[in-house]
Amino acid sequence: MSDPADEILAVVRQLKQESETWRAVAQAYKAAFEEQTARLQDLQDVCVATQAELENERRDHRHRMTQSDPSLRGGTDMLAHDAAGNLDDLSLGATTVTAPGHIELSWQPAHKSSSLYFRRVEQLASQRDYGTALKEVDHLLRGPLTPETRIEGLILKSNLMRKSEWLYDALAACSEALELCDRLEELHCHLPRIRYQRGLCYYQLNMVQQARDAFSDVSTVDDPLYAKAAALRDSCEERLQPGRRSGFEAHRTVTEGLLAQFSEHRFDSKRRRTSSQFRLHVSKPKRFSLPQRWVTARSKSSGFN
């Protein structure tokens, strides 16, 4: 008959060995995560620098072309007008549809101190040097900022990324700003601007339903963005109408209409089947085994057999 004390000692030793093993695994995962985070930061810096170089080259090339050919100056003036921050609408019959690629929003800070803090970023953005402006605003956001100034910086960063067509990154900046507003009640006055910015990102991504919901959240009538948000919300609701037909579909024949409906039905069934398979795949639990080299190395170093 074995001694109960020996059994307890064996169990304690086993638990201690497992604890040491899991501690080593956690440290290895932490080191790997920190290494990957550093690499990601380096890659982001490289991407921002590359974007800045491309924007500079594009601006220099456009300037040289304008100087060499005076007939191109009118096109340059149009580009400058687009950068001013107006909504360009495309009229289609009786319906006005806003082109997602031409939506612009001039960044207007709510506080003078924020405007002074991001003055260089505004100058770079006005010159359409979005890469350098993004690098500058990222550098400023890493430093100590007041909540008001950080909100202004995040909205500015989202707007720059949207103009650079990094739409998902622009949405991430809006989400960070919304999270900060949720924590501090005095920042709730910025919510209409953030929601409007999110709606623009969703609109350019052709995520019409999400864009409509974001524009609907801009519900304060006194807000200067309310009229623009209401117009864009109406445009989204028109695009979401099931019986809506665009102007180019007016001349579609009956055969072409049936073929279009058949193609849409096949795509919808395929999409539903794929999503159900994905849910079934996610619902299955996965059990990951530890690498043998970690277990054996830690067991030898701990001195337990």
Burial pattern 78-87, b for ≥16 Cβ within 10 A else e, equals eeeeeeeeee
Reported as a single tens digit per residue, the pLDDT across 82-136 is 433 433 333 333 333 344 444 444 444 444 445 577 888 888 888 888 888 888 8
DSSP track, 78-109: HHHHHTT-PEEEEEETTEEEEEEEEE------
| Cβ-based burial of 145 (10 A; exposed 0-12, middle 13-18, buried ≥19) | middle
The pTM is what?
0.46
Reported as a single tens digit per residue, the pLDDT across 15-48 is 999 999 999 999 999 999 999 988 888 888 788 7
Which residue did the predictor score with more confidence, 253 or 232? 232
Residue 67 structure tokens: 């100087």
For residue 143, the 8-state DSSP code is S
Nearest to 252 by CA among 241, 264, 261: 261
Q: What is the pLDDT of residue 17?
A: 92
29: left (phi over 0), alpha (psi -120 to 50) or beta: alpha
pLDDT at 143 over 60: yes
What domains lie within the chain, and their CATH numbers?
83-240 (1.25.40.10)
Q: What is the pLDDT of residue 91?
A: 31
Reported as a single tens digit per residue, the pLDDT across 160-207 is 888 888 888 888 889 888 888 888 888 888 888 888 988 899 888 888
First vs last Cα of the chain: how many Å apart? 23
Which residue did the predictor score with more confidence, 5 or 223? 5
